[in-house]
Structure 1
Amino acid sequence: MTMNKPNPTQRRKARKLALQALYQWHIAESPITQIEAEFLVDNDMTKVDREYFSEVLRGVPASKSVLDEHIAKHTDRSPKEMTPVELAILRMGTYELIHRIDVPYKVIINEGVELSKIFGANEAHKYVNGVLDKLAQELRMPEVKAVKK
C-alpha cells in the first residue's frame, strides 16, 4: 500500500475547518456528528483533506479528557479560563502530537500558531506556541532531541 504524500494546503484547510467546527462544538454543544455533517454540506470540501478533517474533528472530542490532562501540565490556566479558540487549537495540536506521528512536531506547532494569529486574541499565538512547544517536548521527546542535534 503506497501512501500519498499529504497536500500541505489541503491539510491547512482541514485544520482551519476542524478548528471552526470544534469551536462550534464547544459553544453550541451540538453532537460532533451533526456539526461534521453541517460542515461537509456548508463548505467546499474539494480542496480539503477530508480524512484529516474528520479524524481531528472526531478524535479531539473522543479524547478530550486525556488532551486536557496533557495541556493542564503545561499551562497556568484551566480550560474554563482559556478562550474557546485557544482551547480548540491546543486540543487539536495535542491530539496531533499524540496520534499523528507522521506529522512533524514543528509543523503542528506552526499550524497552531498560524491558526491563533487568524482566529485568536492579540497575543494568543505566543501562548499557543509556548504550550505546544512544551507539549512537543513531553510527547515527542525523541523527535525534539533529534531535531535539536
Structure 2
Amino acid sequence: MSNLDMGGPVNKAAYLFCIGAGANGNTEFYAAFTAAKCIPGMSLGIMTFVFPKLFDEEDRLAGPSTGILGFCGITEGAIPYAVKDPISIIPAHMIGGGIAAALILSSKIQIGTIAGGAVFMLPVISEPLAWLAYFVIGIAVSMTLTVAIKMMKKRKAVKA
C-alpha cells in the first residue's frame, strides 16, 4: 500500500494501520512498512546512476536527492518518476515493496519504535541483517521490474 501512491492517502492508511498495530504490541507491520516505503526512492536513486539512459536529464539530476529521501523513509521523492511513467514505476515498486514486506512479516521481525522509520532504524530492528537482506531483495526486484518494463516500452516504441 505504501508504494501505490508513494506518500498519498493510501500510504497514510497503511501507516496508520501499522501505528495502531504497533501501539498494541504488533510491531512486525511497522518493520515491514519501514522497508517498503524506503524502496521506491532508494531504487530510483540507484537506477538513475546504473541505468541513466532510461531517465531524462531532470530525473538523473534528481536521482541523488531521491535516493537520500528514500534512505530517510520519505517516499514522496519518487512521485515525479511515477507521474512521468506510472506503468513502469508503480507496479514494479508495489511488487518489490510487497516482497520485502512479506519476507519481513514471515520472519516476524520486530522494530523497537512505531515512529520514524528508515534504513537508519537498523539498531532497533530485532533482526537487522535479515531485515536489510529483505530490503535489498525488494530494491533488486523493483529495479529489475522497472528496467524490464521500461525496456519493453522502448522496444515497442521503436517497432512502431
Structure number with the bigger relative contact order (C-alpha 8 A, sep ≥ 6) is: 2
> Do both share a fold (TM > 0.5)?
no
TM-score norm. by structure 1 comes to: 0.30
